Amino acid sequence: MAPTALSAPTESRTHTKLPLKVAALACARPTHILHRTPWRPSVATSAEGSYITLEDGRVLIDGVGGASVACIGMGNPDVVRAIQEQVAKVAYVYNMQLSNQPAEDLADYLIAISKGAFDMVGIVSGGSEAMEAVIKTARQYWYETGHPERKNFIGRKLSFHGNTVTTLSLAYHPTRRLPYADILDTNVFHHVSPAYAARFQLPEESEEQYVERLRAELEAKFLELGPHTVAAFVAETVVGATTGVVPAPRGYFKAMKSVCDKYGALFVLDEVMCGMGRMGTLHAWESFGDGIAPDLQAVAKGLGGGYASIGAILMSKKVVNGIRDGSGFWLHGHTYQATPIACAASLAVQKVIARDDLLANCREQGEYLASLLRQRLAPPSKAAPYIFDIRGGGMFWGIEFTTPTEDDTFQSAYSKKYGSQKLAMLVQERCMSKGLIILGFTGGADLTGKKGDHSILSPAYTVTREEVRKIVSIYVDVVEEIFGALDL
């Protein structure tokens, strides 16, 4: 018997009352896809540059690159040509049997532009897989170098490293962990405090004192676990979705690396979201990580730019030498690993970024975007009293709100007008209805995941000044409309 297509969800089936506009879209037609939303999303039919056309003819400007992925926009002719040519040559080989030229060329390119930070590359199919591979490679390194006791990994609270069971264990995103809490590994994955000064630095602390407190906490965790049992400390260079583009305070990564060095553990960075140019430098650690290169690093989103599913782990000479002196090969593998089409697409994307000097545009337009946000959301804007922070760099920016739970008067007025709908999701929905795609997230302002609302803007590196003005104009108009309707 054929499965029955899922119709538009109702309040009784989802336990969530959908906004009328969203519910209307959801009712458009049934679907056999079990979507990640309680409604059926609108269907995109074509895209060019930063613009996406929907099946009903509406055209949206993508202010966030999907999920900070589409770094050179869509429909780039050089990338399209590279994919088409590769499909005609060889579409697939299995990586345990044969290598392929696009994979070899991509690896050569990534090492060449790393300025000596990395020695070899492992190519996978996405960000979660890249972080899974990082964990396994770190473990392989210690296993092969004669230290099997090094099995503990230390991550941070309010972090995100992927949606597999292992990467959810490494990270600490409270709401994403919740349904799976009973099957997550709490024996070898441990957590220390986030490096989130705006929320957790004490009033009496200087930046240096805050960093020292976090360094001392990490060292205490090493000592608690047994320094000789720690495999790695793992962090996002700039935290993305969980807290909304939060860079660490100056000196933080230097301090964390000093603890790793003191006790011989690996220093690992997750740049799946913030890397490959998103912060205005190839690697986020070059501009937002004290210039400290890691032993292992994961990249993904900006690597393929949305043209193919691809991720990679970048390995330092230290790690590579440890594995070479052992088995001599990578023990990790998947069926769709280093595939010719994905590697051809990724290499073409990276060459477009370099040829067109897009990182310079990323920095220039990012500064312009931030200046517009700060101007438009400052007094006398109706939203100004409720903007907690605007932060970021390059083409990656977060806008965090002072949320209803932090202000009793605001909470009462907001609930009266908008009910239980989360502020960040309301902003996202209203932006979409006005032709702008953004990301909205909740739960990043405290360790329980119950407080906080923020938006993320991360346009393509190709974005123009005019497009930046359009993105900011729609976003600010929506935010002011929402706050302006409150009876305060």
- What is the enclosing helix (H) or strand (E) of 82? helix 77-89
The tens digit of pLDDT for each residue in 320-356 reads 999 999 999 999 999 999 999 999 999 999 999 999 9
The tens digit of pLDDT for each residue in 254-312 reads 999 999 999 999 999 999 999 999 999 999 999 999 999 999 999 999 999 999 999 99
DSSP conformation class of 325: T
DSSP conformation class of 182: G
pLDDT at 2: 38
Q: Has residue 12 got a pLDDT over 70? A: no
Q: How confident is residue 409, by pLDDT bands cut at 50, 70 and 90?
A: confident
Cis ω before 148 (30° cut-off from 0): no
Amino acid at 82: A
Q: How confident is residue 28, by pLDDT bands cut at 50, 70 and 90?
A: low
Q: Has residue 24 got a pLDDT over 90? A: no
pLDDT at 154: 98
Please indicate whether the domains covering 44-74+358-485 and 77-356 agree at the CATH topology level. Answer: no
Taking the C-alpha atoms of residue 367 and residue 397, their distance in angstroms, rounded to an integer, is 10
pLDDT at 87: 98
The tens digit of pLDDT for each residue in 78-125 reads 999 999 999 999 999 999 999 999 999 999 999 999 999 999 999 999
Q: What is the mean pLDDT of residues 162-175?
A: 95
Report the residue count for the chain.
488
Residue carrying structure tokens 């060095």:
261
3-state helix/strand/coil string of 379-425: CCCCCHHHEEEEEEECCEEEEEECCHHHCHHHHHHHHHHHCCCCHHH
Taking the C-alpha atoms of residue 406 and residue 403, their distance in angstroms, rounded to an integer, is 6
Taking the C-alpha atoms of residue 83 and residue 222, their distance in angstroms, rounded to an integer, is 47
Cα torsion 364, 365, 370, 376 to 10°: value is 130
Q: Has residue 5 got a pLDDT over 70? A: no
The tens digit of pLDDT for each residue in 39-65 reads 889 999 999 999 999 999 999 999 999
- Cβ count within 10 A of residue 146: 10
The per-residue pLDDT of the chain, averaged, comes to 93
Q: What CA–CA distances, in Å, run from 206 to 209, 211, 212, 213?
A: 5, 9, 10, 11
pLDDT at 405: 60
Cis ω before 77 (30° cut-off from 0): no
The tens digit of pLDDT for each residue in 411-424 reads 888 999 999 999 99
Which CATH number applies to 77-356? Answer: 3.40.640.10
Provide, rounded to the nearest whole percent, the portion of the chain with pLDDT above 90: 88
Provide, rounded to the nearest whole percent, the portion of the chain with pLDDT above 70: 93
Domain borders along the chain are 44-74+358-485, 77-356
Which one of 3.40.50.1820, 3.30.70.260, 3.90.1150.10, 1.10.1470.10 gives the CATH number of domain 44-74+358-485?
3.90.1150.10
pLDDT at 10: 34
pLDDT at 38: 86
Distance of CA 439 to the CA centre of its chain: 11
pLDDT at 13: 30
Q: Has residue 404 got a pLDDT over 80? A: no
Instruction: Locate the DSSP E strands across 198-264.
Output: 230-236, 238-239, 246-247
